[in-house]
């Protein structure tokens, strides 16, 4: 039984397997093929934070694979407040075949997984968003084919989305450049970990967005103020001034470079509407791909991970 808490939980071969599965599932859905991989299975979602894409893409993915979901809001469950996290994990494991968690503290998901006897999936924490990263790599693969040697420039906050994407890029031998203002990059320990784990990847921090995007294949951005950081909004907007993805920035990038955003976007802050809705943006294709990538993840975790590609 395996959990999916961060992208570090996968080997490179497993990640490539998931990307190939996502591609096949998307193609088959386009042809109207019906699937039953999760028939009779129940997946619970416990979300402490709001969500559109993660919740709906997972609920649709499970339904389209023949299973059922139960959605519980964070306050309703009270992980660590109404009930101890291990007690909740041990109980829920007897009712459900998998649990997807979206929490503030990353340790909540880790503790839950430690005590669960069914697969636990991280649907975003303060420090990681691995489902987003798998889906984003799938979208990049659709765009470019082979990803080895490609350059992703993340302009903005070294946040949960950036951290997870950097792992995926490293695993696939890509270059990951973080263009962040001072104080908003990765912690040195995290950068060291990435370099140590993925010697074939390349990780850079660059304080100048215009310089950073010069060799970009992908320009990626996300909100400057993530969920839970609302009190810092003014300070952050100040710090990130000059890090907006806009038409002027794109003029410094190669013509073929595409723009990605995990969404939701704060239009007019980290990205202009002109760019988000423009020809170089693949953000909505990217959003749609959450469905296919997560179907692959669910089928693999619930049906295949214990019998194939075992580490």
DSSP string spanning 73-91?
EHHHH-BTTTB-HHHHHHH
102 annotated active-site: yes
How far is 93 from 311, CA to CA, in rounded Å? 24
Point out the residue whose Cβ comes nearest to ligand NVA: 226
Selected binder of ligand CP within 96, 262, 276, 298 (CB under 6 A): 262
Binding mask 41-70 for ligand CP (x = CB under 6 A): ----------xxxx----------------
CB-based contact 219:245 (threshold 8 Å): yes
Is residue 281 involved in binding ligand NVA (CB under 6 A)? no
Q: Give the nearer residue to ligand NVA in terms of CB position, either 222 or 299.
A: 222
Binding mask 117-136 for ligand CP (x = CB under 6 A): -------x-------x----
Q: What number of chain residues touch ligand NVA (CB under 6 A)? A: 9
Selected binder of ligand NVA within 121, 161, 287, 296 (CB under 6 A): 161
Q: Token pair of 265, please? A: 């976007």
Q: What is the DSSP letter of 304?
A: I
Q: Which stretch binds ligand NVA (CB under 6 A): 109-117, 155-163, 269-277, 281-289?
A: 155-163
129 annotated active-site: yes
Nearest to 223 by CA among 272, 185, 190, 266: 266
Q: Give the nearer residue to ligand CP in terms of CB position, either 51 or 191.
A: 51
Kindly report the number of other CB atoms within 10 A of residue 111's CB atom.
19
Residue 56 contacts by C-beta under 8 Å, 6 or more apart in sequence? none
Catalytic residue among 17, 126, 131, 132: 132
Binding mask 193-222 for ligand NVA (x = CB under 6 A): -----------------------------x
Taking the complex as a whole, how short is the minimal distance between the CB of residue 130 and ligand NVA, in angstroms?
A: 12
Q: What's phi and psi for 284, nearest 5 deg? A: -85, -30
DSSP string spanning 131-177?
HHHHHHHHHHHHHHS--TT-EEEEES---HHHHHHHHHHHHTT-EEE
Residue 47 bridge partners (DSSP)? 73, 102
Catalytic residue among 222, 244, 286, 292: 222
Q: Give the nearer residue to ligand NVA in terms of CB position, either 111 or 135.
A: 135
Taking the complex as a whole, how short is the minimal distance between the CB of residue 127 and ligand NVA, in angstroms?
A: 10
Which parts of the chain are beta strand (E)? Answer: 42-47, 68-73, 98-102, 120-122, 151-155, 175-179, 202-205, 218-221, 258-261
Q: Token pair of 35, please? A: 């699937």
Binding mask 101-130 for ligand NVA (x = CB under 6 A): -----------------------x------
52 binds, among ligand CP, ligand NVA, none (CB under 5 to 8 A by kind): ligand CP
Residues that bind ligand NVA (CB under 6 A): 124, 159-161, 222-223, 226-227, 262
List the catalytic residues.
102, 129, 132, 222, 262, 290
């Amino acid at each position: 039984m395996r959990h999916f808490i961060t992208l570090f939980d996968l080997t490179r071969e497993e990640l490539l397997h998931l990307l190939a599965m996502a591609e096949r599932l998307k193609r088959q859905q386009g042809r109207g093929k019906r699937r039953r991989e999760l028939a009779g299975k129940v997946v619970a979602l416990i979300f402490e934070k709001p969500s559109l894409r993660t919740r709906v893409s997972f609920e649709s993915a499970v339904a389209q694979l023949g299973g059922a979901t139960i959605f519980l809001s964070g306050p309703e469950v009270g992980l660590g407040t109404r009930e101890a996290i291990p007690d909740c994990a041990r109980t829920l494991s007897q009712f459900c075949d998998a649990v997807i968690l979206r929490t503030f503290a990353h340790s909540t998901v880790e503790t839950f997984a430690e005590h669960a006897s069914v697969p636990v999936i991280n649907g975003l924490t303060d420090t990681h968003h691995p489902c987003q990263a798998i889906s984003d790599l799938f979208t990049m693969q659709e765009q470019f084919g082979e990803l080895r040697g490609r350059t992703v420039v993340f302009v903005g906050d070294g946040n949960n989305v950036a951290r997870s994407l950097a792992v995926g890029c490293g695993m696939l031998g890509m270059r990951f450049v973080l263009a962040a203002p001072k104080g908003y990059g990765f912690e040195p320990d995290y950068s060291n970990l990435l370099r140590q784990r993925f010697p074939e990847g390349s990780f850079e921090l660059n304080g100048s967005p215009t310089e950073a995007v010069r060799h970009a294949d992908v320009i990626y951005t996300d909100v400057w103020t993530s969920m839970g950081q609302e009190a810092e909004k003014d300070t952050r907007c100040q710090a990130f001034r000059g890090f907006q993805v806009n038409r002027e920035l794109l003029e410094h990038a190669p013509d073929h470079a595409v723009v990605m955003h995990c969404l939701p976007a704060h239009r007019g802050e980290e990205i202009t509407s002109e760019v988000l809705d423009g020809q170089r943006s693949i953000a909505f294709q990217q959003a749609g791909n959450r469905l296919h990538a997560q179907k692959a993840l669910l089928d693999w975790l619930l049906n295949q991970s214990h019998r194939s590609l075992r580490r």
